[in-house]
Amino acid sequence: MLAYSGLRAAKANMGRHSLGSAIRYDKIVGLRYKSQTTDMASSESPHNYAKQSSMPNLVNPEIPKKDVNPKQILEKPLYERAIVRLPEWQKALGEAIVSIFHMDMDRIRAGSIGGSKYYYMCKDQSLQYKNEVLSETAAFWYSTLGLPRTFAQWYQITILHIWMLFVRMRALPFKVGKNYQQKLVDKFFKDIDMRLSEEMDIRSGTIRTRYLKDFHSQMIGIVASLDEALASQSDAVLASAIWRNVFNGDKNIDIVKLEAVIRYVRMQLYVLDKISDRAFGFGDFEFVSPAETVDPLTPEEVQQLRKVTKEKYESIDGKILPSQHSSLSLDE
Amino acid sequence: MSSNKIGQEAKKLVSLLEKFPKDRIQHNATFKTSQIIRFCNIGGIAVPTSVLKEGRKDASSTKSTTKIDANENKRNTFSDKDDAYQKDLFTIDILSQQFKSLKNIANSKWEKYYQIDNKLLEPKGNPNYYNRLLGDLDKGGKQKEGFLTAWRTILTGKY
């Protein structure tokens, strides 16, 4: 019955390659800690916690409640849909180019991991369209918390996730972290622009630019207020920031649901704190679903996590593929 | 009898909310004051004068400093009408559940449960980031930083 924290990291199977050892991603489940889905663990998850509230959802009639009713739904690019496998010759050519030109892989990875993988992870949390079944994470935000199904609400939830990644990116070495942040923001605004024009059918560039500027100033405000909450080390300040932004300053807020979101955010920050720079930089982080819980780690488990990370990224003979080179720390 | 009990439960919530920290900078809506007014309304308690005064101060200062019509914005987020609170819905169970959650928030339960290291709080890429942010916010966002430190940030990107 006890919630058990299990290490969800499989030992990497180091395959042999002529240029060194390749990291086999298919063997790796992802480095993160979470409670195994026992009855007790799932009943403690933020999603279930919010559901336990006996206060009914009070709908404010003055809030516009318009579902995102797209003219056309943007298709997911191939790299978002499945694990993309390059043919062997393309891989070898890529490795050769990286090796010959001594390319800085941390810089390149900022685009593919920070700007691409991490962005679509944030975006998918609350993406929803009219008359479509909500995803597991979106159901938490819209059905359980009762937030309005609007584009602006999607923006608020996405920026909350982006901020959590910002917090971790700041703890990377300055040059690398800044690059990851920049790529993430660039992709975010490019995507908003695309969604406004294609899905929301706003054809006028001037209007879109005006919206983008508005979203940008909102982003500055949200990041500043959430940073303030993090630095204050107080849930009360975090509650105010989340109430103002995610809950749209709703005076009829259900405080149990507000607490569930606080728990959700703290849980993610905890996982981000425990993951090493290298694993984070290589895209090993995944958001813990609102239906799962995280248990704090014992010192032995922290050691174990460190050991598994090292086994994954360091080969026994010291040779790794040129594309796997990185200056990011394995220990912190 | 039950309305008396609801009043007591609401009073507990209000007194806990009064201990919440004040916002460092002024926002269009404040969690603390809006919830104090709400629970006073639900419990049929008089709103503390300090909260009312603060609300009035907020309204006058927003008018003079921003071009945005604060009232227009507020209309989209919450109604000023008393009946919008739907106080008939609240039972003692609901209020005590709300109190429990509010107490967890006030005690920073989750911050302590998921304690994070200095790794995130003093990030190695930007060690002064949070100190500088809090320093500026403590001045209420009113005092501008010096010319040289501003240029240092522009040129190096560091805080």
| Helix (H) or strand (E) run with residue B63 in it | helix B49-65
As a residue count, chain B comes to 159
DSSP state of A145: S
Q: How far does the CA of residue B46 sit from the closest CA of chain A (Å)? A: 18
C-alpha Rg value of chain A to the nearest Å: 21
Residues of A in contact with B97 (CB under 8 A): 53-55, 256
Say if A299 is an interface residue toward chain B (CB within 8 Å).
no
**CA-CA-CA-CA torsion sign (A226, A224, B34, A58):** negative
A328 contacts in chain B (CB < 8 Å): none
pLDDT of residue B156: 83
Q: What is the pLDDT of residue A10?
A: 31
Report the pLDDT value the prediction gives residue A64, as an integer from 0 to 100: 67
pLDDT category at A72 given cuts 50, 70, 90 is confident
Top-ranked range on mean pLDDT: pick from A67-71, A95-99, B73-77, B94-98: A95-99
CB pair distance less than 8 Å for B77 and A237: no
Structure pTM?
0.87
A231, two tokens: 């630095």
* CB within 8 Å: B120 and A232: no
What number of other Cβ atoms are within 10 A of residue A76's Cβ? 11
Give pLDDT tens digits for B106-139. 999 999 999 998 899 999 888 888 988 888 888 7
Residue A14 confidence (pLDDT): 28
Mean pLDDT of all residues in A286-301: 89
Structure tokens, B149: 């430190």
Contact flag B125-A176 (C-beta cutoff 8 Å): yes
Helices (H), chain A: 39-43, 46-51, 78-81, 88-100, 105-109, 118-124, 136-139, 151-170, 174-198, 205-232, 235-245, 255-274, 277-281, 299-313
Half-sphere exposure in the Cβ direction for A195 (13 Å, CA):
20
Element (H, E) at A15: strand A15-17
Residue of chain B whose alpha carbon sits nearest to that of A253: B35
- Average pLDDT over chain A, rounded to whole? 83
Tracing tokens 């079944």 back to the chain, one arrives at A133
Cα B77 versus chain centre, distance: 15
Q: Rounded to the nearest 5 degrees, what angle is found at the Cα of A120, between the Cα atoms of A229 and B117?
A: 35
With tokens 């940008």, the residue in question is A216
CB pairs under 8 A between A and B: 167
Interface with A, mutate which of B119, B154, B155 (most A CBs under 10 A): B119
For residue A301, pLDDT beyond 80 = yes
Question: Comparing A168-182, A208-222, A262-276, A312-326, which segment has the lowest mean pLDDT?
Answer: A312-326
Q: What is the average pLDDT across A246-253?
A: 88
The confidence score (pLDDT) of residue B152 equals: 84
Closest CB to A273 among B77, B89, B117? B117
Residue A222 has pLDDT above 50, yes or no: yes
- Of A138, A160, A158, nearest to A149 (Cα)? A138
Q: Measuring CA to CA, how many Å separate B29 from each of A99, B17, B92?
A: 55, 15, 27
Q: Which residue has the tokens 């405000």?
A: A221
Distance from CA of A229 to the nearest CA of B (A): 10
Residues A98, A226 contacting (CB under 8 angstroms) = no
Alpha carbon distances (Å) from A29 to A12, A240, A274, B110: 9, 36, 17, 27
Looking at the complex, report in whole angstroms how far the Cα of residue B62 sits from the nearest Cα belonging to chain A: 17
pLDDT for A27 beyond 50: no
Task: Supply the pLDDT for residue A22.
Answer: 37
pLDDT tens for each residue of A129-150:
888 888 999 999 999 998 988 8
Sign of the alpha-carbon dihedral angle for A251, A254, A256, A262:
negative
Find the mean pLDDT for residues A112-132: 89
DSSP B67: S
Task: Identify the top-confidence range among A60-69, A266-275, B36-45.
Answer: A266-275
Q: What percent of chain A lies above the pLDDT cut of 70?
A: 85
How confident is the model over B42-101, as pLDDT tens digits?
888 888 888 777 766 655 555 555 555 555 555 555 555 555 777 778 888 888 999 999
Model confidence over A78-93: pLDDT tens digits? Answer: 777 777 788 999 999 9
A256 closest CB neighbour out of B27, B98, B109: B98
Strand partners, A5: A35
Structure confidence by residue, pLDDT tens digits, A176-199: 999 999 999 999 999 999 999 988
Q: Cα–Cα–Cα angle for A204, A119, A261, nearest 5°?
A: 105
Hey, which residues does A207 pair with through a beta bridge?
A: none
pLDDT, position B73? 59
Residue A117, φ and ψ in degrees, nearest 5: -60, -50
Asked if A235 and B109 come within 8 Å (Cβ–Cβ), the reply is yes
